Structures are given as structure tokens and as C-alpha cells.
Chain A
Amino acid sequence: SQQGEEDPQALSIQEGENATMNCSYKTSINNLQWYRQNSGRGLVHLILIRSNEREKHSGRLRVTLDTSKKSSSLLITASRAADTASYFCATDALHGGGSNYKLTFGKGTLLTVNP
């Protein structure tokens, strides 16, 4: 079954540095979404990139998608202590017939930004 798998599992950086997280998946997707989760809290949607897009930006976030390699990356520039959280990629793909799409989450990357 297809699945987003993030790499690394944990990342610790200093404030001001850039953080890069990677996601790999196995089968064709319609889009890929990145979410953030603070410990014990809800899922915050960060960005959606469609399968026909290669790069998207949103503020300090930059997401790339390489469908030939079945991989995506999330770059957070000029990180802040407040960026400390778990980051998940979720692949969105058709399951079965009709328009039955399903999001499948990876295990996440725990990002720690040290002040």
C-alpha cells in the first residue's frame, strides 16, 4: 500500500537555520499535503502540492514534488523556536472507483528548533 514516509525521523537545529524534511511514497498520487502538529494538539494544514506541480511556496515554507522519484521535500527557512513541532506528509490518492480519495499519513519528522 502507498504511504508517505518522512526522513529524518527527528531533526534538531538552531534558530535561524533552515530545516529540510523529506517524504517518500510508493504509488501514484493526486496531491501531497504537509501538516504540522504541536505535541498533543491538532493537525495544522501547511501546504498542498498537486501531482502536476513541482514547487510551491508559502511564507517561509517551500515544498517540492518529484513524481518520478515519488518524493517531496519541505523546507522551512529561517527557523524559529515556535516552529518546533512534528511535521507529517500525507499522500492523497484515489482508492477504488468514483472520487474516493484518501489521505495516508507518514510517521512524521519531529523538528526541534533550539533558541
Chain B
Amino acid sequence: EPEVTQTPSHQVTQMGQEVILRCVPISNHLYFYWYRQILGQKVEFLVSFYNNEISEKSEIFDDQFSVERPDGSNFTLKIRSTKLEDSAMYFCASRLEGRDRAYFGPGTRLTVT
């Protein structure tokens, strides 16, 4: 089965630092997403990306967050100045068509100290 990959698997950073979470979606997929899950809570939508632009973003996705697909294979999530409350598992997902099954990566656990 095709896989979405994410790096790193775990990132520890200090409050106020910038982090970049990386994802490699499935190669022919067109729709890309970031979700996050704070420990013990539900999976929350952050942003969707299609045709090289954001198609929707949630209230969580404020000016500190940005996404990029720099080279046609990677899909990145940047948090400019991390806060303690950004500590969570971040999942990347992709799908071929908007109504297809979404394929999720294994997640990056971000710990902000």
C-alpha cells in the first residue's frame, strides 16, 4: 500500500523557536492536509492545500503557521514561534481526489518546552 511519510518522528524545541515539519505525500496525490492531535484529544483539522494554495484553514491555523510545497514532492508545515500549547502530534495526509480515502502519515510528535 502506498505510504505518506513524515519527518522527524519526534521533535523537541524550545518555546519561541521555529520548527518545520516535513511530509512526503503519495506521489500522484493532489490534495494535502495537516491535522494535529493534542495528547488524549481528538484529531483537529489545521489546513488543506490544493493546486499550490491553501483551500481552507481552521481557526487554529493562525499567522504563526504556514505551509509550503516547495519542490513538488515535499509538503511542509512551519510554526514560526512555537508555544507550549503547540505540543501535539501533527499528521500529514494526502489524497488523489477530494472525495477519496485520505492517507495519513505516521505523525510527528512535537514537544515544546
Contact = CB atoms under 8 A, between A and B. Distances in A.
B56 A100 contact: yes
A95 to B, nearest CB: 6
Given A31-B99, A45-B103, A48-B101, A102 B56 contact: yes
Contact of A88 (B43, B56, B97, B106): B43
B45 A106 contact: no
Contacts of B98: 94, 98-101
Contacts of B102: 33, 45, 92, 103
Interface string A12-50: 000000000000000000110101000011110100100
A35 to B, nearest CB: 8
B101 A88 contact: no
Interface string B91-113: 10100011101111111010000
Q: Dominant SS at the A interface? A: strand
Interface residues of B, number: 26
Given A30-B99, A42-B107, A102 B48 contact: yes
Interface bracket on A? 20 to 34
Contacts of B105: 42
Nearest to A101: B98
B56 A45 contact: no
Interface in B11-48: 31, 33, 35, 41-45, 48
Contacts of A45: 101-104
Contact of A43 (B50, B56, B99, B104): B104
Interface of A: 30-31, 33, 35, 40-43, 45, 48, 88, 90, 92, 94-96, 98-108
29 contacts: A33-B101, A35-B104, A40-B89, A41-B107, A42-B104, A42-B105, A42-B107, A43-B43, A43-B91, A43-B104, A43-B107, A45-B102, A45-B104, A48-B101, A88-B43, A92-B99, A92-B102, A96-B55, A96-B56, A99-B97, A99-B99, A102-B33, A102-B45, A102-B56, A103-B35, A103-B45, A103-B93, A104-B45, A107-B42
